[in-house]
Structure 1
Amino acid sequence: MTDHGGPPGTGPANWGQPAELVLDATGTVMTCTRSVPELLGGSAGELRGRELKSFLEDPAAWAGLAEKAEHGRRSSGLVVLRRAGGGRLDVDVNVFALTGGGEARFLVWLVPAVGAELEDELGMRVALTGGGVLTSSPRAQQRLDLLHAAAVRVGGSLDVARNAEELVDLLVPVFADLGAVDLTEEVLAGEEPGELTADTSLRRVAVAAGEGLWPEEVYGLGERFPVGDVEREHLRRKAVGIMPDLGGLRRAAARDPRRSRLTLPEAATSFLILPLRARGTVLGAVPLWRNGDRVPFDRGDAALAEEIGSRLALGLDNARRYTRERRTAEALQRSLLPPPVVRLSAAETAGMYAPASTAAGTGGSWYDVIRLSGVRAAFVAGKVAGHGVNAAGAMGRLRSAVQTLADLDPPPDELLSHLDDLVTRIGEDEGHRAASAVDFLHGATCLYATYDPVTGRCHIASAGHPAPIVVRKRNRTADDVELHPGPPLGRGTEPFEPAELLLEPGDVLAFHSGPLTAMTRNTERDLERTRESALSAAETDRPLRDVGHHLLARLREHDREEDLALLLARVDRVPPEHTAFWQLPADPSLVAHARALASGQLADWDLQELGFATELIISELVTNAVRHAGGPVGLRLIKDHRLVCEVSDPSQSQPYLRRARLSDEGGRGLFLIAQLARRWGSRYTPGGKTIWTEQTAEGP
Structure 2
Amino acid sequence: MTPPAGGEGRQGPGTDGVAAALLDEDGRIVWWSRAAEELLGWTSAQVSGTPARTLLAPDATAERPPGGTAGRPPGSDDGGRLRLRHSSGTVVEADVRLMSSDTPGGTLVVAGSPEGPAGWDQDIAFARAVLSQDRIAVAELDMDLRVVRTNAAFDALRPDGCDDDWLRDLPGSGIHGTVRGFMTGVAETGSPVIAAEYPFEADRLLSLTCVRLGDSLGVPVGIAIAAIEVTERYRAQKRLSTAYRSAIEIGDSLDVVHSARDLVAVLVPALGDLACVDFPDDVLQGRDPPLGYPGVEASAPRRVAVRSVDGAWPRELTQLGERTPAVPESAEVAPLVVGEVIVADAALLREILGHDPRLIARYMPEGMHGSLGCPLYHRGRFYGFASVYRTHNPAPFDGADIKLMQDLCHRAALAVDNAFRFTREHHTAVVLQQSLLPPSASESAAAETAGTYLPAAGSVSVGGDWFDTFPLSSLRIALVVGDVIGHGLQATATMARLRTAVQTLADLDLPPDELLMRLDDLVQRMMAEAEEADTLGASCLFALYDPVTRMCQMASAGHPPPAVVLPDGSAEYLAVAPGPTLGVGDNPFEVFTTTLPPDSVLALYTDGLVRRDDDTADPEAALLASLARLVRAGEPLDRIGTELIAGHPAHECPDDDVTLLLARTRAVAEQSTSMWEYPADPAAVHEARADVNAQLAAWGLDEQAFATELIVSELVTNAVRYAGGPIVLRLIRDRVLVCEVTDPSNTQPRLRRALNTDEGGRGLFLIAQLATRWGCRYGARGKTIWTEQALTL
Q: TM-score range by the shorter chain?
A: 0.5 to 0.7
> Greater RCO between the two (CA within 8 Å, min separation 6)?
1
* 1:452 matches 2:573: no
Which residue of structure 2 aligns with residue 573 of structure 1? 666
Shift of 1:534: 3.5
The answer (yes or no) to whether the contact 1:348–1:569 under 8 Å persists in 2 is yes
Instruction: Pick the aligned partner of 1:683 from 777, 784, 788.
Output: 777
The answer (yes or no) to whether the contact 2:541–2:554 under 8 Å persists in 1 is yes
TM-score w.r.t. length of structure 1: 0.59
The answer (yes or no) to whether the contact 1:530–1:551 under 8 Å persists in 2 is no
Q: Equivalences for 1:349-498 in 2 at 5 Å? A: 349-352=450-453, 354-355=455-456, 367-382=467-482, 398-419=498-519, 422=521, 426=524, 435=531, 440-441=536-537, 445-475=539-569, 477-487=570-580, 490=584, 492=586, 496-498=590-592
Shift of 1:480: 1.7
Determine which structure has more spread, i.e. the larger CA radius of gyration: 2
Which residue of structure 2 aligns with residue 512 of structure 1? 606
Which residue of structure 2 aligns with residue 587 of structure 1? 684
The answer (yes or no) to whether the contact 1:369–1:379 under 8 Å persists in 2 is yes
Q: 1 CA distance for matches of 2:757 and 2:336? A: 82
Which residue of structure 1 aligns with residue 168 of structure 2? none
Instruction: From the superposition, tell whether residues 525 and 299 of structure 1 become closer, same or farther in structure 2 (CA, over 3 Å).
Output: farther
Unpaired runs of 5+ residues, structure 2, are 1-190, 210-225
Q: 2 CA distance for matches of 1:565 and 1:77? A: 56
Which residue of structure 1 aligns with residue 276 of structure 2? 179
Q: Please tell me the residue identity of whatever aligns with 1:588.
A: V
Instruction: From the superposition, tell whether residues 187 and 565 of structure 1 become closer, same or farther in structure 2 (CA, over 3 Å).
Output: same
Instruction: From the superposition, tell whether residues 229 and 693 of structure 1 become closer, same or farther in structure 2 (CA, over 3 Å).
Output: farther
Cα distance per residue 1:501-523 (max 9 Å; x no partner) = 4243152323334899x989799
Instruction: From the superposition, tell whether residues 503 and 180 of structure 1 become closer, same or farther in structure 2 (CA, over 3 Å).
Output: farther
Q: Equivalences for 1:245-324 in 2 at 5 Å? A: 274-278=374-378, 281-286=380-385, 307-316=403-412, 318-319=414-415, 324=421
Which residue of structure 2 aligns with residue 47 of structure 1? none
Instruction: From the superposition, tell whether residues 288 and 493 of structure 1 become closer, same or farther in structure 2 (CA, over 3 Å).
Output: closer
Q: 2 CA distance for matches of 1:526 and 1:277? A: 45
* 1:664 matches 2:722: no
Shift of 1:352: 2.9
Cα distance per residue 1:158-191 (max 9 Å; x no partner) = 6343543311334569956673453786899898
Q: Equivalences for 1:33-72 in 2 at 5 Å? A: none
Q: Equivalences for 1:228-247 in 2 at 5 Å? A: 236=337, 238=339
> Which SS does the other structure have where 1:645 is aligned?
strand
Q: Please tell me the residue identity of whatever aligns with 2:411.
A: G
Cα distance per residue 1:66-107 (max 9 Å; x no partner) = xxxxxxxxxx9967699xxxx998556xxxxxxxxxxxxxxx
Q: 1 CA distance for matches of 2:194 and 2:462? A: 34
* 1:639 matches 2:734: yes
Cα distance per residue 1:20-54 (max 9 Å; x no partner) = xxxxxxxxxxxxxxxxxxxxxxxxxxxxxxxxxxx
The answer (yes or no) to whether the contact 1:508–1:534 under 8 Å persists in 2 is no
The answer (yes or no) to whether the contact 2:378–2:414 under 8 Å persists in 1 is no
Shift of 1:402: 3.4
Q: 1 CA distance for matches of 2:328 and 2:695? A: 80
Cα distance per residue 1:620-670 (max 9 Å; x no partner) = 445545655555442323433xx2423132334332222222222332232
Shift of 1:676: 4.6
Q: 1 CA distance for matches of 2:716 and 2:300? A: 71
The answer (yes or no) to whether the contact 2:598–2:666 under 8 Å persists in 1 is yes
> Which SS does the other structure have where 1:112 is aligned?
helix
The answer (yes or no) to whether the contact 1:537–1:544 under 8 Å persists in 2 is no
TM-score w.r.t. length of structure 2: 0.53
Q: 2 CA distance for matches of 1:546 and 1:639? A: 28
* 1:151 matches 2:248: no
Which residue of structure 1 aligns with residue 433 of structure 2? 334
Q: 1 CA distance for matches of 2:692 and 2:269? A: 90
Instruction: Pick the aligned partner of 2:233 from 112, 117, 134.
Output: 112
Shift of 1:314: 3.0
Q: 1 CA distance for matches of 2:423 and 2:383? A: 22
Which residue of structure 1 aligns with residue 38 of structure 2? none
* 1:673 matches 2:775: no
Shift of 1:463: 3.9
Instruction: From the superposition, tell whether residues 386 and 454 of structure 1 become closer, same or farther in structure 2 (CA, over 3 Å).
Output: same
The answer (yes or no) to whether the contact 1:364–1:387 under 8 Å persists in 2 is yes
Instruction: From the superposition, tell whether residues 635 and 149 of structure 1 become closer, same or farther in structure 2 (CA, over 3 Å).
Output: same
Shift of 1:212: 9.1
Shift of 1:578: 9.2
Instruction: From the superposition, tell whether residues 181 and 546 of structure 1 become closer, same or farther in structure 2 (CA, over 3 Å).
Output: farther
Which residue of structure 2 aligns with residue 37 of structure 1? none
Shift of 1:348: 1.0
Q: 1 CA distance for matches of 2:208 and 2:743? A: 81
Instruction: Pick the aligned partner of 2:593 from 491, 496, 499.
Output: 499
Shift of 1:343: 1.3
The answer (yes or no) to whether the contact 1:514–1:523 under 8 Å persists in 2 is no
Q: 2 CA distance for matches of 1:543 and 1:154? A: 48
Q: 2 CA distance for matches of 1:295 and 1:438? A: 51
- Number of residue equivalences: 551
The answer (yes or no) to whether the contact 2:557–2:580 under 8 Å persists in 1 is yes
Q: Equivalences for 1:19-98 in 2 at 5 Å? A: 91=230
